[in-house]
Structure 1
Amino acid sequence: MPGRILGKIKERVRNLLLQKAKQPLQHVKEGRIHQRLDHFNRLELSTFPQRFFVNEAYWRRPGGPVFLFIGGEGPIFEFDVLAGHHADMAEEHGALLLALEHRFYGDSINPDGLKTENLSDLSSQQALADLAVFHQHISQSFNLSRSNTWISFGGSYSGALSAWFRGKFPQLVYGAVASSAPVRAQLDFSAYSNAVGLSLMNEAVGGSLKCLAAVREAFAAVEAVMGVNASRVAEDFGCCQTPKGLDDQIELMQNLADIVMGTVQYNEEGVLMSIDELCGVMTNKSEAYEDEVEAYNRLAQLAQIYHSSSEEPCLDISHEKTVKDLMDTSLHSGRRAARQWTYQTCTEFGFYQTCEDASCPFSGMVTLRSQTELCPMLFGISQHSLPGRVAFTNTYYGGDNPHTHRVLYVNGGVDPWKELSVVRDRAEEGGEARTVFIQDAAHCADMMRRRGTDRRSLKNARQEIEGYVVIWLKMAAMEQRV
């Protein structure tokens, strides 16, 4: 379970996009479709309302294509059909733009949907069935035919859904773009922290060997001080409370790691700071301190920068409060999404960003055991059942060797999630997985709208993605003529 702070940083990325998406919203229509709670139980007829957005502004009727933006582990917003690379391409190709919210997130949820007994209807399999039913609903509502070519788009978890939708329902969606898509489920995702370490060393984005060494040293120093004087650490790092026991200490270490992890994952996307700035703080030597003290104080300074930019008065490290928040089943927590996503990590994906590996630059206190004990505590899911659940997901979808055609996997060299995606072309292996690799880019960077400050590698990657979309639309048109 990623710590609380990583989730907050992700929210800030969305909020930043919301502020920038200043286009008039009059083009966007909001709708609801009543989806079955369980598509696979013929006797279960209960439904829930699923929210979607439609933007017809660019659509060249009647034959224009359909670009579907798939919602992931959080609410969808109007800007999902107004801004971003898929929207730029929709304008160019006269596409009807759609966004569908994932079941049990945002507003697509029944009043009692977050109670543990009702969460059994929350899964990626059900989400893909929702997409299939939505396809039918839209096709009827807009009188679409075979000549309307569907292409799906998604990033991160929804990027995996985009690839899987094409894999499981190839007759419904002609091609899929899957950005930063972790298609391989993994229980112990220790490679995440390792990849963060490599990005901190990457000189092309402002990292250095010295920076990684300073981060390692800082975490070791915090651990050492906490062993003898926890209240001093709480004071130095602006915590809301002194850690009561081991659980709170782990929470603190997780939160500090999150600040570094969030910086790397969203490098140069305009939230928090960049790797270049973080390494500037960690390696800017002054004569006043010994090395360990120096590193400790530098990390405290990073925590301070996070505070001042987040408008949070202090760093909340109460594990008890984390658990209490995750047990909240009231609907307003549907906007927060942490409970639902924790459930999906326990039942399908794992993705636990642990630090037991020697290559991890953070604190070894963040173990697989400490991360997975939330599963029995919140949902009664035993820890020993987790490997089997994760293995099933990979059997069901094909892991990172899926035999899917016309799926484009896009990854950034700085993004830790690339470790669970498809990063090289698989055409020679019987599949037709195509890849775009953006050397210096972070998580989902290609999905953002174009900015003047974009690196050359990102501009080239977007052109490459556009090239694939153009080819797919031409191929589909030729097939329709036959």
Structure 2
Amino acid sequence: MKMLLQILIFLVCQGVFLELRSTCGMTVKKEIVQQRINPYTQHLHSLLREPPLRATENSLQKDLVQELWLEQKLDHFDATNNRTWLMRYLRNDRYQQPPHGPIYIFVGGEWEISPAYLLTGHLHDIARQHGGVLYYVEHRFYGQSWPAVDAAVENLRYLSARQALADLAHFIRQLKANEVGLAHTKVILAGASYSGSLVAWFAKLYPDLISAGWASSAPLVAKMDFREYMQQVGEVVEHRGGRQCSGRLESGLISMATQLESSNASQLLQALRVCNNFEPTNPLDRAALFNGIGNYFAAYAQLYDDQIASICAPLITPTDYDDSTAFIQFVRRIFWPEAESVKYAEDWCIDLSYEGMKSIFTDTTELLSGTRQWFYQSCHEFGWFITTTSGRQNARPKDIRQMPTTRRHAQWSPLQYSFGRQVSLNYFQQLCRVVFDPHSDTAAHSGSVGDISISVQQTNSQFGGLTAAIALQQRVIFTHGQLDPWRGVGLQEGKNVITIPDCSHTADLDSINFNDSVEMNVAKLKVAAFLRSVLRRAAN
């Protein structure tokens, strides 16, 4: 009997009974295998999608749009590199009236392009009025325009704004050289958000190839610590959802941060059904959690601000719960919908850890969403890291001097909306390093991936920041929504700068609509008049 007991203990210790977990001589417990669900993906994808237009997919005549491909050099700046790839672009020539109808090009950004912008929207309407031909070009390494088989670092080194602008220049030259009736045609560029930045930068680098441009919601100053973004998101939440909503959101997130640093952290994590790999004492885990919450509100503030009142409703509706419990219920709605809509195993959990966030950016095979590619550009060109920790801006003095006096003061004012004060610049620097440069010596790379701050400085030097944008106003018109979180790094004052009240990011791309505000429709009329006037000047 004693021998049999020893054999049984030996087998348990060797893990033969996989459903049991024990150390020899200790109580045997059942092992719980949790199915981890990563909720961060959905919100990141929302932030990187093509700016939405009102027209539904079913109402568009997609057969009017042709899908075409153009061979591009992999590296426009290395004469010894002969590798090429195929860039995807779309065309609608229904309204073309050669030989004088202009070329209208909507520039793609960090998304997969679709026929929508060639079938509806303000640029489409302008092109139709002036007998133009419409094109929509896809940015390298986004959508279906892939120069490589995956998003490995050795491939992404060919991803940059500078290479994308060279692609666009080659595209225009090829149109004029090979398309009938386009050799002497004027070229109008339009873009939104990052692609709006490309329009402005293209006008600076290739002035001979553009007649006029429209840059909607374009960020123009690269910077490391973009804390103004979440401040503006907080203001949008208050504006659309009411002060009660923004106040409860702010106090609730501060309370969550405090609880995570207390002995009651486990109760909060259990209530949210967080996976056991989350360490509340780890600042990177806490940063990932609050970054995820911030991304949720950023997506609404940036693209769906008209829906904020509805997402605020559960937060301000009276319940039988105390404030803390009610707020936890609210946070569940942010992270749980995917888990509740799909049939998972009984023991599922939400992975809100830093490792969960990192796993999204380290995936080299998921190509369509643009998540890894955009983060690569952030780490190597732009920064624009959306932080919430307290402290002064780290904007470079030259950037500050380029801003009006009122904005200089705003750069140094305390934040009203903290969103929990957990997302630091170091969190993003760590992510950049482990995702794209995991074998680097952290002591030698203070900013990770080399020094991000140097890359940011080089971007501003190359494209000129706000100073260059001011000089481009004879050729490019800039529009912003007053509520746009990106407005803080865009051109906000000038002769051909329009700020539209009560509107957010890229809200002016739709067709003129009498249901819109007077200010919105006046802004669109000004855009149309500006493009028309530049075309007339170019013709003389």
TM-score by length of 1: 0.87
Please say if 1:361 is aligned against 2:418. yes
Q: Which residue of 1 aligns with 2:503?
A: 441
Match of 1:375 among 422, 427, 432: 432
Q: Which residue of 2 aligns with 1:50?
A: 87
Please say if 1:334 is aligned against 2:371. no
Q: Which residue of 1 aligns with 2:247?
A: 213
Q: Which moved more, 1:80-89 or 1:117-126?
A: 80-89
Match of 1:32 among 64, 69, 77: 69
Please say if 1:398 is aligned against 2:398. no
Q: Which residue of 2 aligns with 1:472?
A: 534
Q: Offset of 1:66 from its aligned partner?
A: 0.7
Q: Which residue of 1 aligns with 2:18?
A: none
Which amino acid letter does the alignment assign opposite residue 98 of structure 2? R
Q: Offset of 1:284 from its aligned partner?
A: 3.6
Closer, same or farther: CA 138–113 of 1 in aligned 2, 3 Å: farther
Structure 1 vs Structure 2: percent identity of aligned residues? 28
Match of 1:407 among 476, 490, 510: 476
Separation (CA, whole Å) in 2 of partners of 1:312 and 1:379 = 34
Please say if 1:141 is aligned against 2:178. yes
Which amino acid letter does the alignment assign opposite residue 127 of structure 1? A
Q: Answer whether contact 1:188 1:351 (CA < 8 A) is retained.
A: yes
Separation (CA, whole Å) in 2 of partners of 1:378 and 1:72 = 22
Q: Answer whether contact 2:513 2:521 (CA < 8 A) is retained.
A: no
Separation (CA, whole Å) in 2 of partners of 1:261 and 1:197 = 9
Q: Which moved more, 1:143-152 or 1:343-352?
A: 143-152
Match of 1:98 among 93, 110, 135: 135
Q: Which residue of 1 aligns with 2:27?
A: none
Q: Answer whether contact 1:52 1:101 (CA < 8 A) is retained.
A: yes
Closer, same or farther: CA 238–62 of 1 in aligned 2, 3 Å: farther
Separation (CA, whole Å) in 2 of partners of 1:387 and 1:309 = 42
Which amino acid letter does the alignment assign opposite residue 529 of structure 2? G
Separation (CA, whole Å) in 2 of partners of 1:465 and 1:238 = 50
Structure 2: unaligned runs, 5 residues or longer: 1-39, 391-413
Q: Offset of 1:81 from its aligned partner?
A: 1.9
Q: Which residue of 2 aligns with 1:152?
A: 189
1:208-247 correspondence to structure 2 within 5 Å: 208=243, 210-227=244-261, 228-237=263-272, 243-244=278-279, 246=282, 247=284
Separation (CA, whole Å) in 1 of partners of 2:206 and 2:104 = 16
1:153-168 correspondence to structure 2 within 5 Å: 153-168=190-205
Match of 1:125 among 158, 162, 165: 162
Q: Offset of 1:54 from its aligned partner?
A: 0.8
Closer, same or farther: CA 408–207 of 1 in aligned 2, 3 Å: farther
Q: Offset of 1:454 from its aligned partner?
A: 2.7
Q: Answer whether contact 1:239 1:317 (CA < 8 A) is retained.
A: yes
Q: Which residue of 1 aligns with 2:488?
A: 419
Q: Answer whether contact 1:74 1:336 (CA < 8 A) is retained.
A: yes
Q: Answer whether contact 1:104 1:113 (CA < 8 A) is retained.
A: no
Closer, same or farther: CA 13–232 of 1 in aligned 2, 3 Å: farther
Structure 1 SS opposite 2:104: strand
Separation (CA, whole Å) in 1 of partners of 2:258 and 2:364 = 38
Q: Which residue of 2 aligns with 1:108?
A: 145
TM-score by length of 2: 0.78
Closer, same or farther: CA 312–142 of 1 in aligned 2, 3 Å: farther
Separation (CA, whole Å) in 2 of partners of 1:322 and 1:467 = 45
Q: Which residue of 2 aligns with 1:347?
A: 380
Q: Offset of 1:414 from its aligned partner?
A: 0.9
Supply the RMSD in Å over aligned alpha carbons.
2.8
Q: Answer whether contact 1:281 1:302 (CA < 8 A) is retained.
A: no
Q: Which residue of 1 aligns with 2:315?
A: 282
Q: Deviations over 1:259-286 (max 9, x none)?
A: 22222112446xxx22x33444433445
Q: Which residue of 2 aligns with 1:431?
A: none
Separation (CA, whole Å) in 2 of partners of 1:238 and 1:16 = 36
Q: Answer whether contact 1:215 1:299 (CA < 8 A) is retained.
A: no
Q: Offset of 1:58 from its aligned partner?
A: 1.3
Separation (CA, whole Å) in 2 of partners of 1:469 and 1:309 = 49
Closer, same or farther: CA 376–438 of 1 in aligned 2, 3 Å: same
Closer, same or farther: CA 256–116 of 1 in aligned 2, 3 Å: same
Q: Answer whether contact 2:97 2:132 (CA < 8 A) is retained.
A: yes
Q: Which residue of 2 aligns with 1:200?
A: 237
Q: Answer whether contact 1:38 1:126 (CA < 8 A) is retained.
A: yes
1:172-191 correspondence to structure 2 within 5 Å: 172-191=209-228
Structure 2 SS opposite 1:171: helix
Closer, same or farther: CA 307–225 of 1 in aligned 2, 3 Å: farther
Q: Which moved more, 1:116-125 or 1:316-325?
A: 316-325
Separation (CA, whole Å) in 2 of partners of 1:134 and 1:166 = 15
When Rg is computed on C-alpha atoms for both structures, the one with the higher figure is 2
Separation (CA, whole Å) in 2 of partners of 1:417 and 1:213 = 22
Structure 2 SS opposite 1:111: coil
Match of 1:68 among 105, 115, 140: 105
Q: Answer whether contact 1:219 1:296 (CA < 8 A) is retained.
A: no
Separation (CA, whole Å) in 1 of partners of 2:493 and 2:341 = 37
Q: Offset of 1:369 from its aligned partner?
A: 0.5
Equivalent residues, number: 458
Q: Which runs of 4+ in 1 moved over 6 A?
A: 15-18, 308-314
Which amino acid letter does the alignment assign opposite residue 250 of structure 2? R
Q: Answer whether contact 2:108 2:195 (CA < 8 A) is retained.
A: yes
Q: Which residue of 2 aligns with 1:323?
A: 358
Which amino acid letter does the alignment assign opposite residue 464 of structure 1? K
Separation (CA, whole Å) in 2 of partners of 1:91 and 1:201 = 39
Q: Which residue of 2 aligns with 1:255?
A: 292
Which amino acid letter does the alignment assign opposite residue 213 of structure 1? G
Closer, same or farther: CA 7–325 of 1 in aligned 2, 3 Å: closer
Q: Offset of 1:418 from its aligned partner?
A: 0.5
